[in-house]
């Protein structure tokens, strides 16, 4: 059996019934095999404060420490990227910004360097949130994360899921799962290199 790898699911949405959260959960289920552990990191539950260097003067807030510990423990990420006005959501950008802030004795960009990420988006609109994926890709690539070339945007997300959380359309399900499979394959290769 191959060494286990840990994939963190991170949704850039704070909405409880988020299509993006549903999408990454679905993909996480598709890649959960004998060698993959899934850790769903909820930005809603963490309730991170807005990034402010003054807050660091007395050490990182507890929610930031939890975020960083869980990201450092992950070998890769599946990120649900809602599109707000053609770009990244404030919640996702805030989480990335906090995760880049080093603690004493911690390697620079420990949450990101040597990690792999897959990007997915879901939207009730026809473009499926794909315009914002470029911005997330640029940010993550710039801080040392290998972002897999394949990405997926789910259009018509309001009607795309069945009652069990699975995608109704087989073609869409296959494309979404393909992003997850790429992340797992590369994360495993990097871990065993």
pLDDT along the chain (193 residues), means of 10: 87 96 97 91 97 90 97 98 95 98 93 97 93 97 97 97 97 98 96 84
Q: Which CATH architecture has domain 5-191?
A: 3-Layer(aba) Sandwich (3.40)
129, 87 contact by CB (below 8 A): no
Q: Where are the domains of the chain?
A: 5-191
Q: What are phi and psi of 24, to 5 degrees?
A: -70, -30
């Amino acid at each position: 059996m191959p060494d286990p790898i840990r994939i963190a699911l991170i949704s850039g949405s704070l909405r409880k019934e988020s299509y993006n959260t549903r999408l990454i959960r679905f993909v996480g289920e598709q890649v959960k095999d004998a060698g993959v552990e899934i850790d769903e990191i909820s930005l809603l539950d963490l309730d991170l404060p807005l990034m402010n260097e003054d807050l660091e003067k007395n050490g990182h807030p507890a929610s930031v420490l939890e975020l960083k510990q869980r990201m450092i423990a992950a070998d890769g990420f599946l990120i649900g990227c809602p599109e707000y006005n053609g770009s990244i959501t404030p919640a996702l950008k805030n989480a990335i910004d906090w995760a880049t802030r080093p603690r004493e004795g911690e390697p620079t960009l420990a949450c990101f360097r040597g990690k792999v990420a897959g990007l997915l988006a879901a939207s009730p609109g026809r473009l499926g949130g794909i315009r914002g994926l470029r911005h997330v890709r640029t940010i993550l690539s710039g801080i040392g994360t290998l972002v897999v070339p394949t990405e997926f945007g789910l259009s018509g997300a309001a009607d795309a899921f069945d009652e069990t959380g699975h995608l109704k359309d087989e073609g869409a399900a296959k494309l979404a799962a393909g992003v997850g499979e790429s992340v797992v394959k590369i994360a495993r290769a990097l871990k065993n290199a």
